[in-house]
A and B are shown apart, each in its own frame.
Chain A
Amino acid sequence: MKTNNPGRLLLIMLVVGWFAVLIMLPVYGIVQETVKSGLSLVVSSLNTPHARHAFLLTFWITIAAVIINTVFGIIIALVLVKQKFRGKLLIEGLLDLPFAVSPIVTGFMFIILFGPNGLIGSWFEGQGIKIIYALPGMIIATLFVTLPFVAREVMPVLREAGLEQEEAAYVLGASPWQAFWRVTLPSVKWGLIYGVTLTVARSIGEFGAVIVVSGNIINRTQTATLHIHQEFTDFNYAAAYSAALLLAILSFTLLITMQTLNRRTNES
């Protein structure tokens, strides 16, 4: 094959150009706007109590979503790949539903279900537990929108790994629990890390579903994305851009770290 044909060059340029327009330019825009406001303003606008509270809230919601969805994602993947049961196809189809449903619709579904007059919400209301317009509702909404990531990333790796490695562990004397920890889990490590990364990125960035169920109460149920939205609509552009840049940097660092880790282990 010729290595220097113009078609190949054109394709590379197309990809680079597409990335420039769709990804690099907007990032550059935010950086530009933030820098324009000056460093001291950036720091002070990020250091307000409600900005800090918003980022902290995003942090806790992300932690909760990652832990719960990692555990359930692995269980879902194991069951869907290794077990045979009626309705498996239906469950597998439903797994993608959170991708297909608009986050705002998701939000309303949870308000109907968990709201003070909702099917489940009214019972919790009786116990004095608030779900909607409170942290539990926001976590549930985030769980829903990030549900497929871990399961979807782990399933193909699990399928490819097959049963033989686990069987080998059993005949070597391992219990099912030992086989899971020493063989199954390490063999799906990369799928799992990728799934968790996507879960984190989506949890940090989720807006639509969370704004509906949270009520967007400053210092109470306002996450980082809601905070950016708030500052933007209040014409506090410097604060909005600073927070947006910080959020973008967080997500970007996460992805880059995962990429380098992945490359390093592939090379060794």
Chain B
Amino acid sequence: MTIAVRNIAKYFGSFCAVDNVSFNVEKGELVALLGPSGSGKSTILRIIAGLETPDRGEVFITGRNVTELTAQQRKVGFVFQHYALFKHMTVEKNIAFGLEIQKRPRQEIAAKVSELINLVRLQGYEKHYPSQLSGGQRQRVALARTLATEPAVLLLDEPFGALDMKVRQNLAAWLKELHDKLHITSVFVTHDQSEAIEISDKIVIINRGRVEQMGDAHDVYEHPGSKFVASFIGQVNVIDASILDNRIMIKDTRHSIDNISDIPNGNDIVLLIRPEDITLEEKSGERCLPCVIKQIHYRGSFYELDLDIGGFIIKALENKNSFKREQWKQNQQAFMHVKHYKVFETEEGHNIIREQLRQLGYIE
């Protein structure tokens, strides 16, 4: 009921999709493989399932080396992004497939199928074909079909990726609930950090085929180990700056903030600030930067602010209840108080980071 991935690597031609990846999944854990598209996370999952062969490294399931086994022999559960339901079979037949392959007695199959239909709340849909179901229902059938054979581990490849927002959130919460009930060791792949934070016990962040960071959601969110992690987990403002007189000097301005790092004077850095760590103040104080309010957008439960410091536009999020909307006007001078921020040296140069963020859609 555990998974161990040891130094696996996979090349597609000369492209290295997975580069020396190792991690463990403990018994009963729900682990998220989180990364941007093309980062290799799906390939890792497929290697665990035996749908891809690694060029190097080993996979252990419940302590047994399964690297040489085929997908058929590994007995893992795999849920595909696009469901991969058998289109010519009814819901019932889809769920029964794995059991029929195992040649279980007919009564046992019927009992198991109806149990699973109840579990995934699809009563009344037994005789429907996949084409007659909604996306969320199809994904539940796929899950039931996978659970039918009682796999030792469950692998889910972007399980909610093809669903719309609302269904996605419902299903994610439901999967979490289901996992808490069944305690099946699970790994799921996602590019959606909020999904990962919401439902996983542990997050493995994958970038360019490598593990960037591992830890629980709180860990990776509050203590990102690299610029990539900080920018990928949640939205983040990236500001060019340098260290001067042991303070962080925002580029092209005379505004500065305490240097919380031990980066020496004279070095160029980037300052990372999460939008929710900014509060707008009328008066300056500790850890405050002067700014100009450019836009105030109403976003339902919160306000999104565009703040200008020396030509940089910074995003800030203010809670609807604590933010005094009537107090602020466009183009008003104000101060942004920054509760937390992170500093990274720009050894790679700003442009690389910016390009990465641009690809992720965090900046334009």
Contacts and interface: CB of A to CB of B under 8 A. Distances in A.
A171 B71 contact: yes
10 closest pairs, A vs B, by CB?
A: A164-B84, A172-B98, A168-B84, A170-B71, A171-B78, A186-B88, A173-B101, A171-B71, A174-B101, A170-B72
Interface in A154-201: 161, 164-165, 167-175, 178, 182-183, 186-187, 189
Contacts of B85: 165, 168
Contacts of B97: 169, 172, 174, 182
A165 to B, nearest CB: 5
B75 interface: yes
B80 interface: yes
B145 interface: yes
Please indicate which of the listed interface residues A169, A170, A172, A182 has the most CB atoms of chain B within 10 Å of its own CB: A172
A258 B78 CA distance: 37
B186 to A, nearest CB: 14
19 contacts: A164-B82, A165-B85, A167-B51, A167-B84, A168-B78, A168-B84, A170-B71, A170-B72, A171-B146, A172-B98, A172-B101, A172-B146, A172-B149, A173-B101, A174-B101, A186-B88, A186-B89, A187-B88, A189-B88
A8 B354 CA distance: 55
Please indicate which of the listed interface residues B82, B86, B89, B149 has the most CB atoms of chain A within 10 Å of its own CB: B86
A234 B145 CA distance: 67
A268 to B, nearest CB: 9
The SS class assigned to the B binding surface is loop
Interface residues of B, number: 26
Interface of B: 49-51, 70-72, 74-78, 80, 82, 84-89, 97-98, 101-102, 145-146, 149
B160 to A, nearest CB: 16
Given A168-B78, A173-B149, A178 B84 contact: no
Contacts of B74: 171
Given A170-B51, A171-B49, A173-B72, 12 more contacts: A161-B87, A165-B84, A165-B85, A165-B86, A168-B85, A168-B145, A169-B86, A171-B146, A172-B146, A173-B98, A174-B97, A186-B89
Contacts of B82: 164
A154 to B, nearest CB: 15
Nearest to A171: B78
Interface residues of A, number: 18
Given A170-B51, A172-B97, A172-B101, A165 B72 contact: no
Nearest to A183: B86
Contacts of A161: 87
A98 B74 CA distance: 45
Nearest to A170: B71
Contact of B80 (A167, A182, A183, A187): A167
Nearest to A169: B97
A168 B77 CA distance: 9
A28 to B, nearest CB: 40
Contacts of B50: 170-171
A247 B256 CA distance: 93
B13 to A, nearest CB: 12
B80 A174 contact: no
Contacts of B49: 171
A175 to B, nearest CB: 6
A88 to B, nearest CB: 18
B80 A168 contact: yes
Contact of B71 (A167, A178, A183, A186): A167
B87 A165 contact: yes
A175 B103 CA distance: 13
Contacts of A171: 49-51, 71-72, 74, 76-78, 146
Nearest to B142: A168
B82 to A, nearest CB: 6
A174 B74 CA distance: 11
B70 A170 contact: yes
Contacts of A174: 72, 97, 101
Nearest to A161: B87
